[in-house]
Amino acid sequence: MKIIRVKDYDELSRVAADIMIEAVKENPEITLGLATGGSPVQMYKNLVEDHKENQTSYKGVKSYNLDEYIGLPQTHEQTYYTFMHKNLFDHIDIDEKNVHLPDGSVEDVKAEADRYEAMLKDTVIDLQLLGIGTNGHIGFNEPGSSFEGLTDVVSLTPETIEANARYFEGNEDLVPTEAISMGVGSIMNAKKVLLIASGANKAEAIKWMVEGEISEELPASALRNHDDVIVVVDEDAASLLTK
Ligand code: PGA
């Protein structure tokens, strides 16, 4: 696990974007694993800016997103489908047919999770972007998730629902309680992982992930068993690290 410590969210977003852009330039047919949430928003802005200024092309790039809420129509403004289009896909030249997200609006969500995992089995994610929850989740794999877990229907913990209420008028009752998420095992199949974390509310999870016990109680700690992980953390998120 390589740790890159930066000053703040701005620098984190620049450093993470540079890693992504370099990877795309090196392999224009790269398969990316992508993430949503507050952490990557500025990084995606940087990718869009770079695409406009330097014409970095995503024409041959494939993408697979980590997760999606269950129970919202796909075009609802808070789905991850909408997030990805609004923050990235609508502003770059990626081919819509190369874009993949689980669909949480279908009736048979278990079959959808299985369909998604079957697609992942047929591909190799070259670079997987991750955020981390305040409780150490990756994707929507909450504490206690199996390290071997594959894409599945999962329940969100109260902590995650509380953290995400800010996107739902601050109303926890509006936050979906379930999602389809790639499992920790699916994530661990990626060739390389880039995890970004910013802010003091991530400090405890980062400390545990980097220095604590490897345990399913902190899903992100599984990444210590992966041999190519880059963690970019700002000062606040790194504030509890002892080294
Ligand atoms: P955030 O979420 O980027 O909105 O903090 C990260 C996560 O829950 O994985």
- Lay out the sheet containing 127-130: strands in order across: 2-6, 229-234, 192-197, 127-130, 31-34, 62-65, 99-100
- The confidence score (pLDDT) of residue 133 equals 96
How far, in Å, CA of 89 to CA of 119, rounded? Answer: 20
Mean pLDDT, range 132-161, rounded to an integer: 97
Evaluate if residue 212 carries a pLDDT over 90: yes
Q: Which pLDDT tens digit goes with each residue over 93-110?
A: 999 999 999 999 999 999
Q: Is 38 exposed, middle or buried (0-12, 13-18, 19+ CB in 10 A)?
A: middle
Whether 137 is a known active-site residue: answer yes
- Candidate from 132, 162, 202, 206 with most ligand 1 atoms within 8 A of CB, to mutate: 132
pLDDT-based confidence at residue 208 (cuts at 50, 70, 90): very high
pLDDT-based confidence at residue 200 (cuts at 50, 70, 90): very high
Evaluate if residue 202 carries a pLDDT over 90: yes
Token digits for 45? 């802005």
Evaluate if residue 243 carries a pLDDT over 90: no
- Candidate from 34, 36, 39 with most ligand 1 atoms within 8 A of CB, to mutate: 39
Question: Which amino acids bring their CB within 6 angstroms of ligand 1?
Answer: 37-39, 131-133, 137
- The confidence score (pLDDT) of residue 78 equals 97
State the distance from the centre of ligand 1 to the C-alpha of 131, rounded, in angstroms.
5
Token digits for 188? 């661990």
Whether 54 is a known active-site residue: answer no
Evaluate if residue 18 carries a pLDDT over 90: yes
- CA geometry: angle 33, 77, 143, nearest 5 deg: 50
Task: Please state, rounded to an integer, the average pLDDT across all residues of the chain.
Answer: 98
- The confidence score (pLDDT) of residue 81 equals 98
Q: What percent of the chain has pLDDT over 70?
A: 100
Whether 114 is a known active-site residue: answer no
Catalytic entry in 46, 65, 87, 135: 135
Token digits for 33? 């694993």
Q: Which pLDDT tens digit goes with each residue over 165-177?
A: 999 999 999 999 9
- The confidence score (pLDDT) of residue 191 equals 98
How many CB atoms within 10 Å of residue 98? 17
Q: Which residue, 60, 67, 83, 153, is CA-closest to 113?
A: 153
Distance of CA 169 to the CA centre of its chain: 23
Token digits for 25? 């330039």
- pTM of this prediction? 0.97
Nearest CA to ligand 1 atom 2: 37
Whether 236 is a known active-site residue: answer no
- The confidence score (pLDDT) of residue 143 equals 97
Q: What number does the ligand 1 atom closest to the CA of 35 have? A: 9
